[in-house]
A and B are shown apart, each in its own frame.
Chain A
Amino acid sequence: MIDFVVLALLTIITASTPLVFAAIGEIVVEKAGVLNLGVEGMMIVGAIGAFAVAVTTGDPTLAILAGAASGLVLAFIFGFLTLYLLSNQVATGLALTLFGIGFSALLGNGFVGQTYGGLPHLDIPILSDLPFVGQLIFGQDVLVYLSVFSALGVTWFLGRTRWGLAVRAVGENHDAAHSIGFSVTLIRMGAVLFGGAMAGLGGAYLSLAHTPLWVENMTAGRGWIALALVVFASWKPWRAFFGAYLFGGITIVQLHAQGFGVDVPSQILSMLPYLATIVVLVLISRDGSRARLNAPACLGRSFHASG
């Protein structure tokens, strides 16, 4: 029984980590007042970028960096279009997702069917062999630790640093932030790039650790679920972290339900994460005034210095 619980918890961590990265990254983007709906596209390009480098070089560090860089490049396209050419953020985000899915399929064409050994796990002599907690706490790969650290880091950055304050300022009132001398465009660009790198890391985790191979469309809507998590979390990093684990848990229930002899077709069970997303969104947005209170006031609005 203990073994089963450990196994289930391990799979929950695996299923949740990509969502943590993508959601925490998007929180910073949206806190800066930018709505980037291209998370799915940045994730999938991060996934193939990381996988391609992993298979070619065999170096996990390079692969992780490549994942982050791939997401960053896509985010730069988005940032350039929305911040400098003032294009509609909703439409540009959709374009980023459509482009990312096509572009990743093109890049991944030569990598279909190849496999990668997976990321190395932490192995501390005594600690990692402890019963129960050993594997869970001291036996993860570097990206899992990084995802926890990112929740901590972003909470600290947004709440406790001068630049975090600047990010929140341009998200709440870009005209006021501009008038006291902040460069709205540059700060937003920084946030967008950070969000892209994080989504890329989420994708990298998928193709390096979750299922270490390349399949077209392998993100399967996780980028969109991450966007829903941001709303669910009321733009708070820690709530997004636990939200991601809640979703990871739902995914696992679905995987294990059949093991327990639940007689429901697998496809119906696979609908659970998507249906749960809808339910969660309804619960959180039911109280309209509260949702509006939490959302950054300038979310989705373009800024041009001439007004």
Chain B
Amino acid sequence: MLIRLEPRAEASRAMVYQSPLIAVVLTLIAGMIMFRILGTDPLQAVHAFFIEPISTVQGLAELLIKATPLILIGVGLALGFQANIWNIGAEGQLTLGAIFGGIVALAFFDVESIFLLPAMLIAGIVGGMLWAAVPAFLKTRYNTNEILTSLMLVYVSFLLLSYLITGPLRDPDGFNFPESRLFHDSALLPIILEGTRLHLGFLVALLFAVLAWLMIVKHIIGFQIKVIGMAPAAASFAGFKEKKLVWLTLLISGGAAGLAGAIEVSGPIGQVIPVVSPGYGFTAIIVAFLGRLHPIGVVLAGILMALTYLGGDSAQITMNLPNAVTGVFQGMLLFFLLASDVLIRYRIKLGAPRVREVTQRQEGVT
């Protein structure tokens, strides 16, 4: 018996949406096998990983807190990915956002003003945009690959944060611990659900997703992004400015990542610390693909991926499983997703091609 792939006459719309579901199911199965190999009861582990963390209101609130940066960054990245512009340095742009937002909070440490928080968030956006402007400039001016430049800047941003937090931003009364002072209340995001840590940032992320969706559906820019991704030659014939779109998508995704960074320090963290993110900028890449590069899909995917973070923590506490299980789950999910995506353009056929099909295809060629 032979399994082979046969091209579909046109891409299957249904598979675009079924493929993430197939991937989730396959990941769960593979995850249970992995738990078995790790020597735990698979069902119990899956319960600890996926059910337990969200069985309380606090748990659900934590889920949305973790989803906030993933949605913000994922929506931004999805715009670029649609145009084949690969910003994979969102983690660095997030770090810069946290640094810029943190500097504003610490510079106006004694100021109690309703303008402090907006100023921090704007500073975060500016920081992320500045960091993303480097690959944008190098790509448009010198044709330099944005994947490698944006990624190199991630490591630079980590070192920059490490330098600042052991020097200028360190808490003067902190016994030399590499941490900043705790922000005052006016530099902290308001809580939107009593009794939990859920903050305003989540609504900001939802708003951003809706705005991005409107831009894609209603604005000419959204159309240009899609055309450049699908048919670059057609886009240049139509006179779309590719350089403009490179700048735009990198600045939007960088700004969104910077905003996520500022929200992290002014929300759940409340100060500047040496590590501000458990890899949200990289996980958001998976979120963007899982959400089918569509803002609304990204919101759902962001919430699902947030669960893998909570699950990792929960499995570590209740089952004594290593926290790294989270990363494995995330990687597997993306593998299975990319594998199932083949069904969008191809269908699986068993057996050798029938003679008629082959001749038809040959006739089609000649």
Contacts and interface: CB of A to CB of B under 8 A. Distances in A.
Interface of A: 37, 77, 81, 85-88, 90-92, 94-96, 98-103, 105-106, 109, 216, 220-221, 224-225, 227-228, 231, 265, 267-268, 270-271, 274-275, 277-278, 281-282, 285-286, 288, 291, 304, 306-307
Contacts of A221: 151-152, 154-155
Contact of B338 (A91, A109, A268, A275): A91
A95 B342 contact: no
Contacts of A291: 143
Given A267-B160, A282-B142, A274 B339 contact: no
Nearest to B322: A109
19 contacts: A81-B335, A85-B5, A85-B339, A88-B338, A99-B327, A102-B331, A105-B322, A105-B323, A224-B152, A228-B148, A231-B145, A265-B163, A265-B167, A267-B160, A270-B159, A271-B160, A282-B142, A285-B145, A304-B5
Contacts, number: 144
Nearest to B143: A288
Contacts of B148: 224, 227-228, 231, 277-278, 281
Given A94-B88, A109-B324, A275-B152, A87 B342 contact: yes
B240 interface: no
B151 A286 contact: no
A307 B166 CA distance: 57
Top 3 A-B pairs, shortest CB-CB distance: A102-B327, A99-B331, A105-B324
Given A225-B152, A270-B159, 5 more contacts: A86-B342, A92-B335, A95-B334, A106-B324, A227-B148
Contacts of A102: 324-331
A306 B334 contact: no
Contacts of B330: 98-99, 102
A98 B327 contact: yes
Interface stretch (B96-104, B192-200, B281-289): B281-289
Interface of B: 5-7, 86, 88, 134, 138, 142-145, 147-149, 151-156, 159-160, 162-163, 166-167, 282-283, 285-286, 289, 322-332, 334-335, 338-339, 341-342, 345-346, 361, 365
A72 to B, nearest CB: 17
Given A77-B335, A285-B144, A306 B286 contact: no
B307 to A, nearest CB: 15
Nearest to B365: A307
Contacts of B346: 86, 304
Given A85-B342, A105-B327, A278-B152, A99 B160 contact: no
A285 B143 contact: yes
Contacts of B361: 306
A297 B145 CA distance: 16
Given A85-B342, A94-B285, A99 B324 contact: no
A274 B144 contact: no
Contacts of B154: 221
A273 to B, nearest CB: 8
A91 B138 CA distance: 22
B138 to A, nearest CB: 6
- Dominant SS among interface residues on chain B: helix
A82 to B, nearest CB: 9
Contacts of B153: 274, 278
Contacts of A85: 5, 338-339, 342
Contacts of B5: 85-86, 304
Given A99-B331, A267-B159, A90 B147 contact: yes
A86 B346 CA distance: 10
A37 B324 CA distance: 22
A88 to B, nearest CB: 7
A278 B159 contact: no
Given A265-B163, A270-B159, A274-B152, A99 B339 contact: no
Contacts of B341: 87-88
A270 B160 CA distance: 10
A166 to B, nearest CB: 23
Contacts of A277: 148, 152
Contacts of B338: 81, 85, 87-88, 91-92, 95
A26 B269 CA distance: 40
Name the residue among A92, A95, A271, A307 with the largest chain B CB count within 10 angstroms. A95
A187 B151 CA distance: 30
A86 B341 CA distance: 9
Contact of B331 (A98, A220, A271, A306): A98
Contacts of A282: 138, 142, 144
A99 B145 contact: no
B48 to A, nearest CB: 16
Contacts of B324: 102-103, 105-106, 109, 216
Given A81-B338, A95-B286, A98-B334, A285 B142 contact: yes
Residue with the highest number of chain A CB atoms closer than 10 Å, among B143, B167, B331: B331
Nearest to A269: B159
A281 B149 CA distance: 8
A170 B360 CA distance: 27
Contacts of B327: 98-99, 101-103, 105-106
A29 B251 CA distance: 32
A77 B334 CA distance: 12
A275 B156 contact: yes
A119 to B, nearest CB: 27
B289 A281 contact: no
A49 to B, nearest CB: 15
Contacts of B365: 307
A150 B264 CA distance: 46
A306 to B, nearest CB: 6
A240 B145 CA distance: 18
A77 to B, nearest CB: 7
A61 B86 CA distance: 39
Contacts of A307: 365
Contacts of B152: 221, 224-225, 228, 274-275, 277-278
Contacts of B149: 278, 281
